[in-house]
Amino acid sequence: MDDWKLADPTVLGFNDELLSSAIKYAITHESKMDRDIGAALARGHFEEPSHIGKTIGPVKPRKAGSGAILRNGRLIKTWGDVNYVDMSFSITKSYLSLCTGVALKNGIISDVHEPVREIAKDIGFESSHNKDITWAQLLQLTSEWEGTLWGKPDWIDHHRDLNSSAESEFKKGTKRVLQKPGTYWEYNDVRVNQLSLALMLAFRCSLQEVLKKNVMEPIGATDTWFWHGYENSWVEVEGKKLQAVSGGAHWGGGLWISTMDQARVGQLMLNKGYWNKKEIIPKSWIEECVKPCPLAPNYGYLWWLNHPEVGMFPEAPNSAYFALGVGTQIMYVDPENCLVIIVRWIEKNRVAKFIHLVLESLKP
What domains can you pick out in the chain, each with its CATH number? 9-106+202-360 (3.40.710.10)
3-state secondary structure of 267: helix
What pTM does this model have? 0.95
Separation CA 338–CA 69 (nearest Å): 11
Angle at CA of residue 11, ends 7 and 15, nearest 5°:
100
Q: How does pLDDT run across 109-156, given as a tens digit for each residue?
A: 999 999 999 999 999 999 999 999 999 999 999 999 999 999 999 999
- pLDDT > 90 in the chain, percent: 86
Is residue 169 scored above 70 in pLDDT? no
Is residue 165 scored above 60 in pLDDT? no
**Beta strand residue intervals within 131-225, DSSP E:** 148-149, 152-153
Separation CA 66–CA 204 (nearest Å): 36
pLDDT band for position 87 (cuts 50, 70, 90) = very high
pLDDT band for position 356 (cuts 50, 70, 90) = very high
- pLDDT of amino acid 1: 46
Distances (CA, A) of 246 to 173, 209, 318: 19, 14, 30
Find residue 235's DSSP bridge partners: 242
